[in-house]
A and B are shown apart, each in its own frame.
Chain A
Amino acid sequence: MIIKDVLCPFCGCLCDDLAVEVENNKVVDVQHACKIGSSKIMGHDRIKAPMMRDDKKGEFREVSYDEAINEAAKILANSKRPLLYGWASGVCEMMKKGVLLNEEVGGIIDNTASVCHGPSALGVHEKGMPTGTLGQFANRADVVVFWGCNPVQAHPRHMSRYSVFAKGFFATKGRRGRKVIVVDVRKTDTAELADEYIQVNPGMDYIVMSAIRAIIAEHADVVPDNVGGVSKEKLIEIAETLKSAKFGIIYFGMGLTQSRGKYKNIDNAVSLTTELNANTKYSIIPMRGHYNVTGFGNVCAWETGFINAVDMSRGYPYYNPGETCSNDLLMREEIDAAFIIAGDAGAHFPAQSIARMGKVPVIQIDPFHNPTTEMANIVIPTKVSGVELEGTAYRMDGVSLRMRKLVDVDFPSDEEVLDKIIAKVNEIKGASS
């Protein structure tokens, strides 16, 4: 059986044109997907059963779901400062349950954006975000900028589906009708495909942007001969190209959000975009990583008023990045229990945070073994969303789509596990109050 129009549970492109062949409840072939997406859908070794251990250095023993869930609930109910982290590789339905669980336990809920596009959110607080759907850019854009991102590696179908090679109503020539500019500290594979590659010195993105803004504002006279490794002549040329667009689009990645300047880079990039709109049309959009990391920001915002890093210890949502993000809390050694779901803290957190996680009980909900498993005391395997489970995901541009189920498995969904944990937490808290 071939299932068509399948959504890909890998990156923020959320491609929805896959065809997946299923035989005897097994995925046997994936068409149209990139290699990474295909590999995820084809599946690989997964955690077979719930596991627990008291000593993080000891061996896991297999336990029942009930035992693992009860123990997880006990840890969360008795914790004074639980961290609920991850919430990326899952569907929105489970994220809603996560926000509720966080209310019940008075913890902190934080999404992987915390170590990824979190600074983009701060940029939005400062300046807003003039953006649009990816099809708008495919149909219209004639100038395309990739700043600090490398879609060839990280979003393999982005350029063909949306940004560079895609043809559209106005962009009838596809690649030939577009000027592609790549700004990066190193010559990436994406840069190899560009019309213009601008190599900035590491950490100098902000001032390069400021120089371009000055030139666009007709203050080229204040720009020195060389800014952040880029000649003034080149900067003037780039400013002219940007201004010449009928429709320009700036895609940015972690090269901006996680380098020197962080959210200030986004603030500046949004200002540049806004100013370019005085004479033509420009949009800007973050290249989001996980296929539904954008969904968490949406769910968290409509449920709590805040996009991420929500502390519920006061009984109401409190948001203060720098204080309430996972690594702020871990480094201050406030966290006394960690609940990691659909994200991998073990692989992406700095050593100091990992050290703290080594000292507190860690519960992991995930289909797959990953570095977080190494620190976990309780591991509860669940369904792979978008392969074994239907549900909602938000593409990087905020378009929400419904992921399909391709095969049936016996594992519970994240949502089912969360429901049971919430019920058990209430039972424990109810008995003690």
Chain B
Amino acid sequence: MSELLIKNATVYDPINGINGDKMDIAVKDGKIVDSIGGGAQTIDAQGRLVYPGGVDAHTHIAGSKVNMGRVMRPEDSRSGIKPRTKITRPYTGYTVPNVYAMGYRYAEMGYTTAFEAAIPIMKARHTHEELEEIPIIDKGGLTLFGSNWMVMDAIRENDLERLAAYVAWGLLASRGWGVKIVNPGGGEAWGFGKNVSGLDDPVPNFEVTPRQIIRSLAEANERLNLPHSIHLHCNNLGHPGNYETTLDSFDICKDIKPKRDRQALHVTHVMFNSFGGNHWGDVQSKADVIANYLNNNDHLTIDMGQMIFGSATTMTADGPVQYANARTFKARWSNGDVELEDVSGVTPLYYSPNVYFYGMMWGIGQELALLTKDPWKVLLTTDHPNGGPFVNYPEVMTLLMSKKKREEEISKIVPKAFEHCMIHTIDRELDWYDIAIKTRAGHAKVLGLIEQGKGHLGIGADADIAIYDIKPDETDATVEYDRVKTAFRKAAYTIKDGRIVVKDGEITATPMGRTYWVRSKVDNDGYNRMMEDLKMKFKDYYSINMANYMVQDEYVQHPVVVETEYAEV
């Protein structure tokens, strides 16, 4: 099959410890190889920056919430328009792009893998229908378990085998990759318009606490030996003073022993969960406290959830927070309860730099990344499109690389913001290697995708490669941030499975990517008890029949199925 040689590359491949080495990269049949013959197609990188293809461990790119965002916001779909070409379908949208723009824009930035962060099992077929139409990139998704009746009943009855069996079944039914927990227990409470107030507030009618839900799912996750850890959106998101709940949530998994070489807990878009104070008047950044925790503990990773000024479409399984947002800002509100499983809400917001607490939020995301010493512990995300759309990752990269860039942006933000956060006091500037960790290597490690050949350029890895039009040796990113941002926005080349899919920032080919999901073996007795309960729930409470529930193979046309073995902890 095809061979490709990238000559004279300046390579940053943190998983393999390669830090700006000048090297050639050989590709054969879609994989990185040691060497190839003389006749291969050659790209002379001329010393330009080469990264593994970008990986996004937390983004909302497909499914009913995303589509509700599109339906609600025709004004958003009227932006970002690009007519169809011989190669590409039309692009639409900024915060909620159409499926084609999703894939094209990730690829244009040198990203080759993105994981959808919230799949309700009952609506997973829809999620996969959209994922199947997102071109070029590889995909996967995290399945929602945090307010599920099967989960809560098993936890209340202290039946961990049954819980693990259900998680395995739910991942199979949704063709999911990992366990997502959003505002644990709060989704069920929202079924009657309520919420849970903290980790020890029992879920109405189910008599389990958010703390128990997190702990038990973390244990089940390890019994199933899943590639990814549990992936947590904490309780009390968006409330002043919520950092205490966040720290308390971190602690729940402190003594969980991960079965794999990864964290025991990933906590997502922590920007929204790092608020001190008692109300919006005295709200303040507690990013320093959160970072301090991360600097002293090794069992967890987080992602930033960086906020981007301008239009955002917030969408989350945290139903109550969306209602509160909509009422506070008099914004449009969509809600999407899913029987027995979870809830969700979609609300468009506009983050203005003239509002001090938005300025503070802008600061917090970066503070988390810069005050946490180990770059592997904090991934770069915007929680697309909650903090802002993923097309702004290059903006975030340059903010982290340049104090001067930050100062320039700070000058555009209402000064009062900086009475509530500390970003203006931070001098740290990340380098090319750090950015490679925060945008690809770290994401692959956190998701458990290194073994799948993602996030690195070692022999046997997928030949997913980004070449950026920038020469690290001749570029001072702390000063030339505009040039760096331009380069990151439009890759000189994006190579997917050894094939050039982007050249000079333009799409040149649109192959279909793969979808990763996990099939786990479970304990037999636990499975039987789970099935008994599940059949009862379908008979009595679900509005569809069990035979019609599970995502069929037709909806995942290019699957990569990772099998895992069950083990008692």
Contact = CB atoms under 8 A, between A and B. Distances in A.
B273 interface: no
Interface string A130-164: 11111110111000000000000000000001100
Contacts of A278: 327
Contacts of A127: 332-333
Contact of A92 (B129, B149, B205, B544): B129
Interface of B: 62, 64, 66-68, 70-74, 76-78, 81-84, 89-93, 96-100, 122-123, 125-126, 129-130, 133, 149, 190-193, 205, 323, 326-327, 332-340, 343, 346-347, 540-545, 547-548, 552, 554
B240 to A, nearest CB: 21
**Residue from A132, A305, A306 having most chain B Cβ neighbours under 10 A:** A305
A433 to B, nearest CB: 11
A103 B70 CA distance: 19
Interface stretch (A64-72, A179-187, A223-231, A296-304): A296-304
Interface centre among A4, A17, A133 (most CB of B within 10 A): A133
A351 interface: no
Given A130-B333, A130-B335, A302 B326 contact: no
Given A281-B192, A303-B99, A398-B64, 5 more contacts: A134-B543, A246-B192, A277-B323, A305-B74, A402-B548
A319 B71 contact: no
A25 interface: no
Interface of A: 4-5, 7, 16-17, 92, 96, 103, 121, 124-136, 138-140, 161-162, 167-170, 246-247, 274, 277-283, 297-298, 301-307, 312, 314-317, 319, 390, 392, 394, 398-402
A317 B74 contact: no
Contacts of A135: 339-340, 541-544
A283 B339 contact: no
13 contacts: A16-B548, A124-B71, A133-B122, A138-B541, A167-B540, A279-B193, A281-B193, A302-B62, A302-B129, A302-B133, A316-B82, A317-B81, A401-B548
Contact of A315 (B90, B191, B545): B90
Given A136-B338, A274-B333, A297-B71, A400 B125 contact: yes
B125 A401 contact: yes
Given A247-B192, A307-B71, A136 B133 contact: no
A302 B84 contact: no
Contacts of A280: 192-193
Q: Which 5 residue pairs of A and B lie closest in terms of their CB atoms, listed nearest first?
A: A305-B77, A132-B337, A135-B339, A135-B543, A305-B92
B122 A399 contact: yes
B333 A16 contact: no
A279 B547 CA distance: 38
A143 to B, nearest CB: 13
A320 to B, nearest CB: 9
B84 A315 contact: yes
A114 B383 CA distance: 35
Contacts of A392: 125, 129
B123 A283 contact: no
Nearest to A168: B541
B192 A302 contact: no
Contacts of A307: 70-71, 74
B156 to A, nearest CB: 15
Given A281-B192, A302-B99, A317 B337 contact: no
Contact of A303 (B83, B96, B98): B98
Nearest to B548: A16
Contacts of A247: 191-193
A133 B543 contact: yes
Given A169-B540, A302-B67, A277 B123 contact: no
Contacts of B125: 392, 400-402
Nearest to A401: B548
Contacts of A140: 191-192
A278 B334 CA distance: 15
Given A16-B545, A317-B92, A126 B323 contact: no
